[in-house]
Chain A
């Protein structure tokens, strides 16, 4: 194998791929990147942790085709500390990889290429559709933070995606809060609902971020989802589980409603954060009778703060406490200047929405006193 390519492009791509390599796995080859140079003038960089797999292709001048497997973190550190040239040359030195620029020559010990796993491929019977990368990003980024971070219930450590009536729904919940984002699509896609593991979603978001605005081809079967576009191939395992029928818990009637400016709420929550204790508690005093909303937090080691918000109110008076982190989390997903908080009573969830934006909905359960 012998090839020359742009250092900058190479570094950018291996940095993305390196994130997908397996950490703390018993099989060291999973911490590696496979570099595969073929005759077409394309260098393929592949990484997998056998849950998520990624293959990136970059243009390169191939003098001699071949493949090599080297540890991802070492390769990345080496390339990022080469400053003397725009281009680098990769070649084999015996079994090992040699990285050279005019002023340096580095040899990285390689692993047997035969041990590097293959990625699941697109199958003919897969369901296929195209989707804009920005739209997809918008969908998952609006909800992913609500997903469960533990794997006690694997079906909740996911983003749930389904299509119904010309809309694509993205949903995530850890059973304490729930986010739902709806995107309109031009025509219905005939797909079963899918559950993508949240760990993989976070990596997929990074890849899509790096892609900018392009159309992505999605291939789907029972076990696997594949995203492909020019130079990128990402495949993730799907969780085989049932997402709860969350529509049934969305409240339909509310006891009190508060509309506040998003920026006001952000400012107040920042201050609340300073004084909240370990449980992140913030107390809401919703008082339509006195036409005000008061937020309180206290910490016996730091102090306490009481904040009054300008708001339009209706309904019954209510005193209720939340984890303020849960409230703050959703604010980035609401694209609207004002936010409505609809309460359904003590020990019952609050529904948060943008006033002019119906595509995002967020449900938070209160804390026990």
Chain B
């Protein structure tokens, strides 16, 4: 509400108060305010339907006349029912007594579970609380572009990446931002699993039409974890039609998934091609600098002091996703609160020992088996001296992965893969590294293999 409309309403109320009885005034005009002014129409917020009906029946003309007296350009007056905030404050004073007697009973932890039922958005997920680093810069920029021109800039916006890197956060931030910008925008967040259940129920109860209508009425639709649509053909078909309907009306759609759409198995091609029409952004795991930035932001958010030394140490040791970082930070906060002291590096090292994930270990054999399975080649061929192209490539990939992900030494890789010289191994690794720079499909393949190996 602007100062102007606030002033306007106060002036109007003074006039109203002079013309009706005190009792009537307090009963009907308490908790009213101007919500907004649009095209010369004043939208008046009232606390309930009763008040709305009564004011519009008894005082409509009078209010309109008074409003016009102050601002001639006003053409109309509409009423909207808004939540009263004042009731809460008033009531809290006279109910302290009953609360006292209950104080020694533990409370159910309901606080953490408030989610807006109209749009399913969690208000905590905003752009302000989103830490931007080198790794998610692109995704953040794409989301920013989307909120500037919803439905036009990138539609759909497709965010993918491993778990715990902020896909849901970013997707919901888009929704929360657009909702804040314009409260009329109908934003809806749903997980693909929930969508499927709702759809099936609707079909069972012969309510498919109302289901369709419901989803077609949204201005912004955010669908989380759509990899779960795999194999659900009917639901995919419904999503396809829904997508077309929303897309044609320039309604913004945001999807998230743990994989690139092309790699979601059993996803229909027509859906894949539609996803590709918008913007597909990857959120990879954070690099060192981003981990430092995230730790600093989270610590500041919790009002927790961390020396640079400790942050550096944590950023190096905890290399997983953001959720892991948060977990470790929570342990530190809890410990330092318990002890009431600022933690020193060696204490931190001790604490982290248990929670830092051990470096991945996998046997060479396992890697060979998984990779040859992935490329559908015979495992035995990898160890042989053959130089057939379809074998050489997986073999090089295996070497690269063993070196990069599992820190196996060059000589021992060579020895285990059929007694090859360590220079062969070095050459292979360098070759893959070079190719990675120019070949995004290779990168995706490697990422896929990495997920299989986890």
**Per-position contact with B for A227-247: 1 when CB-CB < 8 Å, else 0?**
000000001010011111110
Contacts of A249 in B (CB 8 A): 108-110, 113
- The contact of A242 among B102, B115, B201, by CB within 8 Å, is B115
In the complex, A151 has a CB within 8 A of chain B: yes
Q: By the criterion CB–CB under 8 Å, are A224 and B49 in contact?
A: yes
The answer to whether B110 and A175 touch across the interface, beta carbons within 8 angstroms, is yes
Task: Compute how far the CA of A115 lies from the CA of B52 in the bound complex, rounded to whole angstroms.
Answer: 15
Cβ of A118 and Cβ of B54 under 8 Å apart?
Answer: yes
A337 to B91, CA, bound (A): 40
Q: Which residues of A contact B52 (CB under 8 A)?
A: 120
- Nearest CB of A to B29, in Å: 12
Q: In the complex, which residues 132-175 of chain A have their Cβ closer than 8 Å to any Cβ of chain B? A: 149-154, 156, 165-166, 173, 175
Interface of B is mostly: helix
Contact B106 A366 (CB under 8 A): yes
Name the contact of B27 in the complex, choosing from A50, A323, A326 (C-beta under 8 A): A50
Chain B hits for A28, CB < 8 A: 23
* B-side contacts of A323, CB under 8 Å: 102, 105
Given contacts A26-B26, A115-B24, A241-B83, contact A165 B201 (CB under 8 A): yes
Report B93-130 residues with CB < 8 Å from chain A CB.
95, 98-99, 101-102, 104-111, 113-118
For residue B111, which residues in chain A have a CB less than 8 angstroms away from its CB? 244
Distance from A301 Cβ to chain B, minimum over Cβ atoms (Å):
17
Task: Write the chain B residue with the least CB distance to A123.
Answer: B49
B53 at the interface (CB under 8 A from A): yes
- A29, B106: Cα distance in complex, Å: 44
Number of A interface residues in the complex (CB < 8 A)? 59
In the bound complex, do residue B27 and residue A25 qualify as a contact, i.e. CB atoms below 8 Å apart? yes
Residues of B within 8 A of A222 (CB): 81
- Interface size classification for chain B: 35 or more
B18 to chain A, nearest CB (A): 17
Of A3-11, A184-192, A255-263, the stretch lying at the interface with chain B is A184-192
Minimal beta-carbon separation of B20 from chain A (angstroms)? 10
The distance in angstroms between the C-alpha atoms of A50 and B116, with both chains bound, is: 27
Tell me the minimal C-beta distance from B83 to chain A in angstroms. 5
B92 at interface by CB-CB < 8 Å: yes
* Contact status of A53 and B50, CB under 8 A, knowing A151-B87, A176-B105: yes
A367 to B23, CA, bound (A): 45
Contacts of B22 in A (CB 8 A): 26
The complex places the Cα of A120 from the Cα of B118 at a distance, in Å, of 23
Residues of the A chain whose Cβ atoms lie less than 8 Å from the Cβ of B26: 26-27
Q: Are A279 and B113 in contact (CB under 8 A)?
A: no
Other than the known A26-B22, A242-B117, what 16 A-B pairs have Cβ atoms closer than 8 Å? A27-B24, A48-B50, A51-B48, A120-B50, A149-B98, A151-B95, A154-B87, A156-B110, A173-B110, A176-B105, A222-B81, A235-B49, A240-B81, A245-B114, A249-B109, A363-B108
What are 10 A-B interface contacts by the 8 Å CB criterion? A27-B27, A28-B23, A118-B53, A222-B81, A224-B49, A237-B50, A249-B110, A326-B105, A363-B108, A365-B106
